[in-house]
Structure 1
Amino acid sequence: MQLIGHELVEFEPLFWTQSTNEMSKDRLNLFEFDKDLIKFAKQHQMNFATVCIDTKQAIIANACGAKFILCHKLIAKNLSDLAQFYLFDAKIACVITHEHELEELAKFGVDVAIFQKGVVGGNF
């Protein structure tokens, strides 16, 4: 499992963005699933991650080239199984606040645990 934002692990942070004006080629842009932001990121060859609330969004985000698909722990197991079955290029990720949550994410087969320090901006 990859860790982002843990004090002992070197990482590239994700930058929360809410509009195309805030997006940059020089960083990993993170936003709630939004077709317009995904189109913009693709057109400008920007790395992006997106927060998905269901299977449909995760399938589309992966097909569009998302680096990470962030989801709530309640659907993490389903999305991890889906990603493994369909060999997603995107990694399934959850934001956590404490190390003790790592064991739960490992049971779900989540690829990436993102600590709050791993996201610049936004409320996680």
Structure 2
Amino acid sequence: MIIIGHRFIPSFLQEHGSFYHIPNIEAIKNTPPNSYIFLEYSEENLDIIEHMRNNSISFCLKVEDITQIIYATNLGASFILVDRDLAKTAQDLANNYLFDAKILVNIDKDEDIEEFALLGIDGILYTDAIIKINS
């Protein structure tokens, strides 16, 4: 299980960089080169997603349903962030279709790790690991 943003397990962030939530393409310039861009899936963000794909920028898409999970993997997301109630279904889809993307669930407390480990979820993402970039 990948653990991203835990207070005493910094290895993922040290090796790969942080997750940066951006509002537009211009904001990408304000992120370090080894970072992941974090974006909520919506049709309004397709231009940003296309820009990231064309420039080989790794990104994480937050999705809300099964259709968006399928879109996210086909759009080239490295990570797909889902809500708790969708986690098992998302992981089953990823395993069945051999997604390249890893399924993540957002958590706030350590007690949630066991639940998602038992479900076989690829990883967890602590809320504090997402850095918001305004411009």
Structure 2 equivalent of residue 22 of structure 1: 27
Structure 1 equivalent of residue 2 of structure 2: 2
Pair 1:58 & 2:69 matched: yes
Could you list the runs of 5+ residues in structure 1 that have no partner in the other structure? none
After TM superposition, give the deviation of residue 41 of structure 1 in Å. 0.8
After TM superposition, give the deviation of residue 16 of structure 1 in Å. 0.6
Instruction: Compute the RMSD of aligned alpha carbons.
Output: 1.5
After TM superposition, give the deviation of residue 107 of structure 1 in Å. 2.7
Structure 2 equivalent of residue 113 of structure 1: 124
Structure 2 equivalent of residue 48 of structure 1: 59
> Where is the helix percentage greater, Structure 1 or Structure 2?
2
Could you list the runs of 5+ residues in structure 2 that have no partner in the other structure? none
Structure 2 equivalent of residue 94 of structure 1: 105
After TM superposition, give the deviation of residue 95 of structure 1 in Å. 1.0
Q: TM-score, normalised by structure 2?
A: 0.83
Sequence identity (%) = 29
> Deviating runs (4+, > 6 A) in structure 1?
none
Deviation sequence 1:9-33 (CA, Å, 0-9, x none): 2223100112111124712100001
After TM superposition, give the deviation of residue 97 of structure 1 in Å. 0.5
Q: Provide the rounded CA distance (Å) in 2 between the counterparts of 1:56 and 1:75.
A: 12
Q: How many residues align?
A: 122
